[in-house]
Amino acid sequence: MNMKKWGAMAIAMLTSCTMWASAEAAPTVRITQIPLSIPEDYPAAAASVKFKTSGPTLLFSDSPEMVYHDGILYRDTVQGRVRLFFHHVNAVAGRKKLAVLLKNEGLRPMHYKLLQQGIDGPGYNYMEVGKESQRKYFAPHTQKQISGSLSFGRSFELLSGHGMLVDTDQLVTGTIDLEVDRQAQLSVFMCEPKADLELFDDSAAVQPMDEHPLRGTFAKSDWEYTLKRPIEGDKPVKLKLAGTDAAGYIKGVDKTTGLAAENYGNYGVIYKVNFTVASERPISFILNPIGGYFAGYGVLEHDGQRELLALPQYDLCLGETVEEAVELAKLKSGKYSFIWSPPGASNLPIELIWRASKSRFRK
């Protein structure tokens, strides 16, 4: 999605400030969720990191974002571990159906397993839909692994078994991790509510992208950063993610056209940031969405415990100004990992900041 366009449009459609519950804090982590104001020129040293990529192949389906015509929105042949990120709005008058179809085109039976997913919508509040899809993806109690097999020519619809009905101007977005043991065709498409999904999948044309080239297939969609030096609190440290600097954007191929593709925003990429706190004083762990309005979820890992964090907890979103930030937690000495993914309808990039907990710019 256009990171600026939909950030502004989603805010205009907000009807309330939603409060989100936080899980109970681990003994050595104090979840604070304190609003902050950080100057744009705040002096913090750029973190020195080790960077590596791994994980599933990512299929990204977001162009056309506003769907005006029935057809295939993205399609590729997959095998092994796969992650699908999709983000589409019904842009025509009347109800449509969005479907994600996994089809076996081989002669031998194909076995599949749905590993993890977070799907939300249809909804009119795009930022809320994007945030809730992230909560569902990262919350362990929402995960129900499903497995099955498909014979030659047979298919399985991944959203609900029969697709999702979407009214005018409603958004559906989500992330689905799956595994298939043989080659299979994975298609995202919009069609009439009563259309036969298998027949439509066989005959429909691939829709061209809109003005935003946001679709494609990308290898190794898990990005891991490990800070080389412990956080000691002597001076602030920051790390920018999902932007043009450092590792940049994940690159791949639009398999519907054969053209080079770049995932501006890294939607569908799962980030894991590993760091060590070595300080006698608590360290303030801060999220600053410097790209604009942002609403998501993440996970903080420490001592074998996983804390689900709303980003932010006290409101639907933050980032009205570049200075608006949130202290997520106060951290004692130890090893931590922060896991998150760019949410649909949110703006990027973000900065993570670590500093000694006392600060003059706290509200």
Q: What is the pLDDT of residues 68-84, one digit of tens each?
A: 999 999 999 999 999 99
- Assign 3-class secondary structure to 110-126: EEEEEEEEEEEEEECCH
Question: What is the reported pTM?
Answer: 0.90
- Split at pLDDT 50, 70, 90, the class of 26 is very low
Strand ordering across the sheet containing 237-241: 29-37, 324-331, 283-288, 350-356, 237-241, 45-46
Q: What is the pLDDT of residues 121-147, one digit of tens each?
A: 999 999 999 999 999 999 977 677 889
Q: Which segments of 139-236 does DSSP mark as H helices, in order?
A: 197-203
Name the one residue in this structure whose structure tokens are 């919009």.
190
CB-CB contact of 34 with 362 (8 Å): yes
Q: C-alpha angle with apex 270: 148 to 54, nearest 5 degrees?
A: 80
Cis ω for the linkage preceding 213 (within 30 of 0):
no
The pLDDT tens digits of the residues spanning 290-303 come to 999 999 999 999 99
Question: What span, in angstroms and rounded, lies between the C-alpha atoms of 141 and 144?
Answer: 8
Task: Give the per-residue pLDDT at 5.
Answer: 39
Q: What is the DSSP code (8-state) at residue 241?
A: E
> What is the rounded average pLDDT for all residues in the chain?
90
Q: What is the mean pLDDT of the segment spanning 264-276?
A: 97
Q: Is the pLDDT of residue 24 over 70?
A: no
By mean pLDDT, which of 167-171, 246-250, 350-354 is the weakest?
246-250
Pairing of β 66-67 and β 71-90: parallel
- Cα dihedral across residues 250, 254, 255, 259: positive or negative: negative
Contact 104, 150 (CB under 8 A): yes
